[in-house]
Chain A
């Protein structure tokens, strides 16, 4: 089963094979959860959205019409995140405050090659960047995460989001500019070596 290519797994999963679908889950759960976490900024909410998305994807497998399975799944994940954001707007929570309060807990993976001081600086930068991402409007946020954190090109982002290429380009441009402005406005939070060069 593990050696099956993606097309065979998708075909088997479309017929209700849970094991085949789980092989696909194992392939994409990292990218799905990271996407959800960057959009939602909360581990628990991201885990819920990711699980919801995979359950929805399994149910919808018979209706999958081919193309990029990755883009299809990530679109479901993005929609699950939007559902969470809408629910959060109805019931505001202070998840960002809670995240900042857990100083000793970091959800980010560590690079074993980095020295401890580099790890600390990297964590600080990651936290400020994530806080900046969360200030973006949801439509810009998802496009920026797909591009700059998931490494997708414009065409893939258009597939995931269902947007036109021009819309992807403009939303990404505006999102990056706002994130840049956020980093400049909060430059005192950035580690010393991570100051925007033009601001020195």
Chain B
């Protein structure tokens, strides 16, 4: 018996339609069922269709159930079913909002502090001095200028000392430092003049002696280490990139 040829010759839709399926489920009205049984007695194709359909349904119904991989109850303690699925992103929104607000606040504090330092630093001198200095200083001088501003904003003399140690000031930088002794703290100026000895001598009046952990090379405390890394990064920049970096850091008042 070729079932495919049968299907091509005559489909069940052409004859009994969906009545065979409903007949298997005993969902036919009594008169429909009687009429169908009368037809089945005469139609071999429909009997074949009914037989194979019934077998298919039997096998499907006898198919084994699937075991549960886990229970699907909701967490009682939280009372918040949203927390069941960690991949739902809803919880992340307030966290990101908080982080954004924190970053914005820190940015405002840094900019405000920088503005304050810059304004007090250049208050008594024409801005031309700063412009001249900026144009004249080479890479290491710019590092020192940045470090000086950082020092004045948050005293961490050891950083300045180490930044100075990293690369001795060139001529313009020295001029800048010497020309503005009132702006630079005495400790920083002293460190620039004799970096190695002052920074490593405990008990002297250098910045290294004022900060816990300072004078021990790279083992400074958190903020000091951060500032030291900043100074080291700036010292590694080329002059154009340094100028770009400076454009981000230096407040507009001290720019051209």
Contacts and interface: CB of A to CB of B under 8 A. Distances in A.
Contacts of B21: 169, 172-173, 176-177
Nearest to B69: A47
B124 interface: no
Contacts of B69: 33, 43, 47
Interface in B44-85: 48, 51-53, 55-57, 59-61, 63-76, 79, 81-82, 84-85
Interface size class of B (residues with CB under 8 A): 35 or more
Most interface-central of B51, B59, B70 (chain A CB within 10 A):
B59
Nearest to A183: B56
B79 A180 contact: no
Contact of B64 (A46, A47, A126, A173): A126
B81 A59 contact: yes
B56 A108 contact: no
A148 B65 contact: no
Interface stretch (B12-20, B154-162, B197-205): B12-20
Contact of A148 (B60, B71, B76): B60
Interface in A1-31: 16, 18-19, 21-22, 25-26, 29-30
Contact of A22 (B3, B57, B76): B76
A84 interface: no
Contacts of B3: 184, 198-199
Interface stretch (A48-56, A63-71, A87-95): A48-56
Interface string A171-199: 01110110111011000000000101111
A160 interface: no
A117 B159 CA distance: 79
Contacts of B56: 176, 179-180, 183, 196
B25 interface: yes
A135 interface: no
B74 A109 contact: no
Interface residues of A, number: 59
Contacts of A59: 81
Interface in A120-179: 122, 125-126, 129-130, 133, 144, 147-149, 151, 153-154, 169-170, 172-174, 176-177, 179
Contacts of A18: 74-76, 79, 81
A34 to B, nearest CB: 5
A198 B65 CA distance: 27
A62 B22 CA distance: 37
Given A32-B72, A47-B70, A154-B25, A55 B81 contact: yes
Contacts of A34: 65-66
Nearest to B7: A181
A108 B67 contact: yes
**Most chain B C-beta atoms within 10 Å of own C-beta, residue among A108, A130, A180, A181:** A180
B79 A55 contact: no
A109 B66 CA distance: 6
B6 to A, nearest CB: 9
B27 interface: yes
Nearest to A184: B3
Most chain B CB within 10 A, of A18, A46, A111, A179, is at A18
A110 interface: yes
Interface of A: 16, 18-19, 21-22, 25-26, 29-30, 32-34, 37-38, 43, 46-47, 50-52, 54-55, 58-59, 107-111, 122, 125-126, 129-130, 133, 144, 147-149, 151, 153-154, 169-170, 172-174, 176-177, 179-181, 183-184, 194, 196-199
14 contacts: A18-B81, A25-B71, A29-B68, A29-B71, A33-B68, A37-B66, A54-B74, A108-B63, A129-B60, A173-B22, A184-B3, A194-B59, A196-B56, A198-B1
